[in-house]
Amino acid sequence: MASTRVKTVAILTAREGKEHELEELLRSMTGPSRAEPGNLHYNLWRARERHGEFVIDELYADAEAAAAHRASPHYLRYLGRINELATRHAIPLDAVDTI
C-alpha cells in the first residue's frame, strides 16, 4: 500500500553575506510549521562544513496538509524573502521503504 504522506527535503545555500538573515528566516519557520495540523515533522539542519548551507526536512500526513502549509502566512512570508537570501532546491520524495 502506498503512503499518502508528503515528504520534501529542501537544500538552501545563502547568498554572499546573507547567511545570518537566511538562518533567522528559516528558524522563524520551524515553530509555526510544526504547529500545523498534519505536520509530522519539520527539521532544520545546517551543513557541518559549509556554514551558509541549510537543509529543511519536512513530512506531512497527506497532500492536503502540505498544501495548507504552502498557503500559510509564515510560508508566504518565507516565499517573499527567500530568493533574495538564498538559492534553493526542493526535492519532493515518494516513500519506497519506510518505518
Q: pLDDT, tens digit, for every residue of 32-46?
A: 999 999 999 999 999
Question: What range does the domain containing 66 cover?
Answer: 6-92
1 in a domain, yes or no? Answer: no
99 in a domain, yes or no? Answer: no
97 in a domain, yes or no? Answer: no
Please count the structural domains in the chain: 1
Distance of CA 2 to the CA centre of its chain: 23
72 in a domain, yes or no? Answer: yes
For the domain that residue 45 is a member of, what is the CATH number?
Answer: 3.30.70.100
- Please tell me the predicted confidence (pLDDT) of residue 3: 66
Q: Could you say which DSSP state residue 22 is in?
A: H
- Please tell me the predicted confidence (pLDDT) of residue 7: 95
- Please tell me the predicted confidence (pLDDT) of residue 74: 97
Could you tell me the end-to-end alpha-carbon distance of the chain, in angstroms, rounded to an integer? 13
Q: Cell for 80?
A: 517573499
Overall pTM surpassing 0.75 (yes/no)? yes
45 in a domain, yes or no? Answer: yes
The mean pLDDT values, 10 residues at a time, for the chain of 99 residues are 82 97 97 97 95 96 95 97 96 81
- Please tell me the predicted confidence (pLDDT) of residue 1: 43
15 in a domain, yes or no? Answer: yes
